[in-house]
């Protein structure tokens, strides 16, 4: 989407301002297609946060200034609870998805530190989950990392065979951040529930886009993935499974996370949650959302040399992960950036020698295809004409890179 001045969109989502791009001599009209990384604030979110700046009291204070701040937090908590189909008392505000994952995984490990046990995750999880699981393994726990099929999904039957009497937690995401592939979440959580094992769902990529209605377990989300502010998220605790809290001090957030609350961030998260719930209940918005995703996928897949890595079915429509045969994903990202298009490489890091994506490798893709991956991700602000523009610019870029490759023998 255009970032130079304002976004023009349908009624109710207007004028989201962003600074103009600063580098790149070839840069044309700016198009933002990296929404899985972060999303711009909605005007309603910015307005709510701006208004909340007038409320400066500490929410823990018992006088009228503190009560006003606490009321704003309660209001936001109610909006998040509606979005996630849980009770407000089950919502714990925090700094985002990474803290939420550590709170559940490391918190479970610390609680069971004396008696040990076993953790389960999948090979395609976000690093926030994988590294937290690696940490509890260093504490002495055993860890099973479940394989995935060619679409990036875990077989619930495989989970069933790996569960043990001393399994302390299963942590599997709702949808993958690189490919958009959905896990069979409810089947997986049911397997864990029937075994009496707590289940953690990393819902960072699906909150605000899909309904999340787990009856039990833990859910973690991050506000900036659905047009809220950065640095704020929530942990939903739908189980009585014990956790050792990681931040000590006061008794804020139902005594699960100490520290004076991030009032402005929480207000913004609540406003974003309210807007997201309205979109989920709007059939026209859901139709528009799918049509934008279908248009993006169809346009990118028609480019010469393109191979789509995101599954055709069971995938977030916002996410299209595509490789271009013989080309490096980081090269494409750099050239597109110079031409005003913001996308992400499928590589694990952006450097002179990036590693192939662990997600794509786990799906069985060869390393060269994984290194060639580029992720395009739209949002509720993305327009059809922007999709057409980004496809056209990408097609031109790929064609020119192939021409260069043929002339010098490398890409």
Cβ atoms 172, 121 nearer than 8 A:
yes
Please determine, for residue 118, whether its predicted confidence score (pLDDT) is greater than 60. yes
Please determine, for residue 191, whether its predicted confidence score (pLDDT) is greater than 60. yes
The pLDDT of residue 335 is 96
Of 24-38, 117-131, 140-154, 315-329, which gets the smallest average pLDDT? Answer: 24-38
> What residues does each domain of the chain span?
45-279, 283-408
C-alpha to C-alpha distance for 78 and 88, rounded to whole angstroms: 5
Please determine, for residue 122, whether its predicted confidence score (pLDDT) is greater than 90. yes
Q: Which of 65, 86, 349, 380 is catalytic?
A: 349
The pLDDT of residue 407 is 65
pLDDT in tens, 42-81: 999 999 999 999 999 999 999 999 999 999 999 999 999 9
What rounded mean pLDDT belongs to the chain?
91
The pLDDT of residue 160 is 98
Among 389, 403, 394, which Cα is nearest to 374's?
Answer: 394
Counting Cβ atoms within 10 Å, is residue 361 exposed (0-12), middle (13-18) or buried (19+)?
A: middle
Count CB atoms within 10 A of the CB of residue 284: 9
Region 75-98 average pLDDT: 97
C-alpha to C-alpha distance for 94 and 273, rounded to whole angstroms: 15
C-alpha to C-alpha distance for 342 and 32, rounded to whole angstroms: 5
The pLDDT of residue 240 is 87
Active site residue 315: no
Q: What is the token pair recorded at 165?
A: 């009497």
C-alpha to C-alpha distance for 221 and 94, rounded to whole angstroms: 9
Place of tokens 């699981």: 133
The pLDDT of residue 1 is 35
Helix axes 64-84, 263-280, angle to 10 degrees: 30
- 3-state SS, the chain, equals CCCCCCCCCCCCCCCCCCCCCCCCCCCCCCEECECCCCCCCCHHHHHHHHHHCCCCCCCCCCCHHHHHHHHHHHHHHHHHHHHHCCCHHHEEEECCHHHHHHHHHHHHHHHCCCCCCEEEEECCCCHHHHHHHHHHHHCCCEEEEECCCCCCCCCHHHHHHHCCCCEEEEECCCECCCCCEECCHHHHHHHHHHCCCCEEEECCCCCCCCCCCCCCCEEEEEHHHHCCCCCCEEEEECCCCCCCCCCCCCCHHHHCCCCCCCHHHHHHHHHHHHHHHHHHCCHHHHHHHHHHHHHHHHHHHCCCCEEECCCCCCECCCEEEEEECCCCHHHHHHHHHHCCEECEECCCCCCCCCCCCHHHHHCCCCHHHHHCEEEEECCCCCCHHHHHHHHHHHHHHHHHHHHHHHHHCCC
C-alpha to C-alpha distance for 152 and 392, rounded to whole angstroms: 29
Instruction: State the Cα torsion 247-250-253-258 to the nearest 10°.
Output: -20
Please determine, for residue 246, whether its predicted confidence score (pLDDT) is greater than 50. yes
> Residue 410's pLDDT band (boundaries 50, 70, 90)?
low
The pLDDT of residue 3 is 32
> Residue 409's pLDDT band (boundaries 50, 70, 90)?
low
User: Which whole-number Å values give the CA distances from 103 to 39, 45, 111, 114, 244, in the listed order?
Assistant: 24, 27, 11, 18, 8
pTM of the entire structure? 0.90
C-alpha to C-alpha distance for 34 and 340, rounded to whole angstroms: 12
Would you identify the CATH topology of the domain 45-279? 3.40.640
The pLDDT of residue 408 is 62
pLDDT in tens, 346-401: 644 444 457 899 999 999 999 999 999 999 999 999 999 999 999 999 999 999 99
Would you identify the CATH topology of the domain 283-408? 3.90.1150
> Residue 167's pLDDT band (boundaries 50, 70, 90)?
very high
Length of the chain: 411
The pLDDT of residue 292 is 98
């Amino acid at each position: 989407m255009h970032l130079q001045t304002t976004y023009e969109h349908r009624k109710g989502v207007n004028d989201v301002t962003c600074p103009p791009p600063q580098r790149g001599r070839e840069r044309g009209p700016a198009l933002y297609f990296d929404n899985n990384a972060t999303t711009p604030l909605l005007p309603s979110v910015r307005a709510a946060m701006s208004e909340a700046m007038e409320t400066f009291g500490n929410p823990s204070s018992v006088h009228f200034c503190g009560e006003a701040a606490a009321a704003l937090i309660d209001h936001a908590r109610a909006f998040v609870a509606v979005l996630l189909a849980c009770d407000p008392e089950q919502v714990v505000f925090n700094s985002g998805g990474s803290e939420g994952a550590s709170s559940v995984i490391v918190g479970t490990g610390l609680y069971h530190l004396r008696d040990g046990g076993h953790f389960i995750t999948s090979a395609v999880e976000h690093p926030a989950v994988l590294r937290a699981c690696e940490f509890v393994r260093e504490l002495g726990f055993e860890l099973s990392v479940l394989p995935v099929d060619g679409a990036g999904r875990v077989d619930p039957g495989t989970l069933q065979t790996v569960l043990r009497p001393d399994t302390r937690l299963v942590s599997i995401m709702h949808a993958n951040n690189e490919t958009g592939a959905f896990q069979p979440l409810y089947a997986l959580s049911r397997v864990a529930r029937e075994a009496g094992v707590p289940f953690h769902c990393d819902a960072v990529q699906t909150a605000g886009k899909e309904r999340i209605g787990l009856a039990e377990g833990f859910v973690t989300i991050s506000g900036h993935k659905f047009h809220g502010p950065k640095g704020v998220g929530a942990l939903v605790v739908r189980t009585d499974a014990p956790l050792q809290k990681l931040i000590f001090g006061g008794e804020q957030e139902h005594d699960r996370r100490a520290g004076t609350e991030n009032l402005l961030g929480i207000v913004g998260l609540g406003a974003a949650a309210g807007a997201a719930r309205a979109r989920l209940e709007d059939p026209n918005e859901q139709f528009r959302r799918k049509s934008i995703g279908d248009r993006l996928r169809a346009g990118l897949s028609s480019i010469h040399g393109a191979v789509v890595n995101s599954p055709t079915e069971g995938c977030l429509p916002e996410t299209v992960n595509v490789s271009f045969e013989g080309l490096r994903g980081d090269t494409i990202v750099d050239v597109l950036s110079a031409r005003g298009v913001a996308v992400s490489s499928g590589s694990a890091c952006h450097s002179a020698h990036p590693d192939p994506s662990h997600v794509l490798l786990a799906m069985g893709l060869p390393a060269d295809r994984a290194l060639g991956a580029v992720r395009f991700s739209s949002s509720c602000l993305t327009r059809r004409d922007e999709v057409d523009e980004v496809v056209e610019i990408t097609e031109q870029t790929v064609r020119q890179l192939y021409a260069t490759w043929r002339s010098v023998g490398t890409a």
